[in-house]
Amino acid sequence: AQSVTQLDSQVPVFEEAPVELRCNYSSSVSVYLFWYVQYPNQGLQLLLKYLSGSTLVESINGFEAEFNKSQTSFHLRKPSVHISDTAEYFCAVSESGQGAQKLVFGQGTRLTINP
């Protein structure tokens, strides 16, 4: 079975500052890793994913995450945040392979951007 721990429940930062949202996972099998974003009163949207290959993955809006197998981590970073990045962010893991993608989510990190 897999588990995901997001180390910070809330992260306040100032606009244009860098941010890192931490995610650690536990699994006895090979996994895929995901970051989802949830804006207020909406469903979740995929931000980025790691399946295989390059350990650094990027999103279209400037976020990036690096898969670190030895530290079982998949931290999310952005060098300069905007007010519009205010949202809740969820790290998730699924077992690699074919079939249904049974996601296991972390508890979420609420990112608040202050002007």
Partner 1 sequence: DAGITQSPRHKVTETGTPVTLRCHQTENHRYMYWYRQDPGHGLRLIHYSYGVKDTDKGEVSDGYSVSRSKTEDFLLTLESATSSQTSVYFCAISGAGFHNEQFFGPGTRLTVL
Residue 28 or 102 with smaller CB distance to partner 1? 102
Q: How far is the CB of 16 from partner 1 (least distance, A)?
A: 29
Cross-strand pairs, 34: 49, 92
Q: How far is the CB of 49 from partner 1 (least distance, A)?
A: 7
Asked if 2 contacts 93 with a C-beta cutoff of 8 angstroms, the reply is yes
Q: Give the Å distances, CA to CA, from 84 to 3, 19, 59.
A: 29, 14, 15
Q: Give the Å distances, CA to CA, from 36 to 59, 60, 109.
A: 11, 13, 11
Q: How far is the CB of 33 from partner 1 (least distance, A)?
A: 12
Residue 13 or 44 with smaller CB distance to partner 1? 44
Residue 54 or 98 with smaller CB distance to partner 1? 98
Of 48, 40, 42, the closest CA to residue 91 belongs to 48
Residue 14 or 39 with smaller CB distance to partner 1? 39
Q: How far is the CB of 105 from partner 1 (least distance, A)?
A: 4
Site residues for partner 1 per CB under 8 A: 4, 6, 9, 32, 34, 36, 42-46, 49, 51, 90, 92, 96-108
